[in-house]
Amino acid sequence: MDSKTASSASSSRRVALFGNVDSTGKTGQDVRRNQTPLVNINPFTPESLLIQSVTQQRTNRKRAHWNDSCGEDMEASDAETEEEILPPPKRITMMESNMKSRYTSEFHELEKIGCGQYGAVFKCVKRLDGCVYAIKRSKKPLAGSVDEQNALREVYAHAVLGQHPHVVRYYSAWAEDDHMLIQNEYCNGGTLSDITAANRRRLTFLSELELKDLLLQVTRGLKYIHSSSLVHMDIKPSNIFISRKTVSSVDACDEEEDESDGTATSIVYKIGDLGHVTRVNNPQVEEGDSRFLANEILQEDYSNLTKADIFALALTVISASGAEPLPSNGDRWHDIRQGNLPPIPQVLSQEFLSLLKLMIHPDPARRPSTSDLIKHPVLLTAARMSADQLRVELNAEKFKNALLQKELKKAQIAKAAAEEKVLSTDRVLTRSTVQSNPKTSRLIGKKMNRSMSLTIY
């Protein structure tokens, strides 16, 4: 087969990401060839290894069948070779999955809310459901670049992780015009980096209790990620998103209408930007921000990847405490990697400082795991605060239900009163009509002969 024919055969095997697929999941061309449809294999799913194994076994069986049928001395035609011995499935690229703009047809763009090296994030309203989402749009060009690998890695990780209160929720992703677009949950509080910068300008800091709550919530998100045998590898303030929810703190037992409602703001921290996620086993490490990078990763020691996330989380909390911007290199950078905390411009308890110091220990094996952190005595106060916040939200929901029940009772009473008023009006009208026209009093049997019944005993 010459190169032109081979190129034509290779092109004919390419399918679009949104192409026509039959009920078995194969395109029309794939059905004719009886081959596996050309789709991306998610490297973060256990099924991916099975899919690759089955594909290889099918190829080996086809090759063995061809050898048995034709014999070693017989030559098959080029067409037969193309049908039976196929190259490994080719990954779908950005260029192969372009389609009509879904972004403009399904979403109304409100504003740009973020911009970085990867691309831009826009606040959008989906035209169909009217809800607000964050749409991340990659920079151009993307196809064939390292950025494309990161974009696909983020989609793979989101799809595997599913939904968790402390991980930014993923809805969908698609490609158009050489861009990758990812539809995520919109977090109305911005990022931890935004909050830290605003606090620095106002010369204010998060309190120790708030720092503990931050540490506890992000640790819960990391524990969920680590439980899937994945690591984030880019924990930092700009990748911690904030959702703010205002709830009523009025106790549900208080049903006075004119009672002024107290309110409390619930702050939920969520881990986002999964472009550097990789597996714990057989990792493909893409180094994140050097300011939060553990030294062992720089030395290409990947034996304790989960502890690299712990190291970055400690420096994230330290940054939120009001510390000066962390160094990206130099003596200060190495000093932190020796286990020394950078200066913190507020008084924190010695127990909390000791925990942060342990989280950046030079030996990753000495750093606590996510399970250790969640159960650590220092964070019990933050856990109790979370429980109190949940109680506040529960009381708020009970209060809302009580108000609804009260409104429903009022509506039922008003309805019954209205019905009684209508019935009373009808009775009054009937009596007045009879009195004004006595002839109408005999409505039954009028102008008719009386019947007579005789009973003989």
Please name the residue that has the structure tokens 């064939």.
144
Q: Residue 64 CA to chain centroid, in angstroms?
A: 46
422 is in an annotated binding site: no
Of 340, 338, 346, 295, nearest in space to 320 by CA = 346
242 is in an annotated binding site: no
How many degrees, rounded to 5, is the angle at CA 12 between CA 11 and CA 14? 70
Q: Is 2 a catalytic residue?
A: no
Q: Compute, in degrees rounded to 10, the torsion defined by CA atoms 402, 405, 406, 411.
A: 160
Of 138, 139, 111, nearest in space to 124 by CA = 111
144 is in an annotated binding site: no
Of 301, 312, 153, 166, nearest in space to 227 by CA = 166
Q: Which of 147, 178, 213, 234 is catalytic?
A: 234
Three-class SS state of 348: coil
239 is in an annotated binding site: yes
98 is in an annotated binding site: no
19 is in an annotated binding site: no
Cis amide bond preceding 141, omega within 30? yes
120 is in an annotated binding site: yes
114 is in an annotated binding site: yes
309 is in an annotated binding site: no
Element (DSSP H or E) covering residue 428: helix 380-436
117 is in an annotated binding site: yes
190 is in an annotated binding site: no
Three-class SS state of 351: helix
121 is in an annotated binding site: yes
- 265 phi and psi, to 5 degrees? -100, 120
Q: Residue 425 CA to chain centroid, in angstroms?
A: 60
Q: H-type helices in 162-281, by residue range?
A: 192-202, 208-227
Report the binding-site residues for Mg(2+): 239, 273
Report the binding-site residues for ATP: 113-121, 136
Cite the active site residues: 234
Report the binding-site residues: 113-121, 136, 239, 273
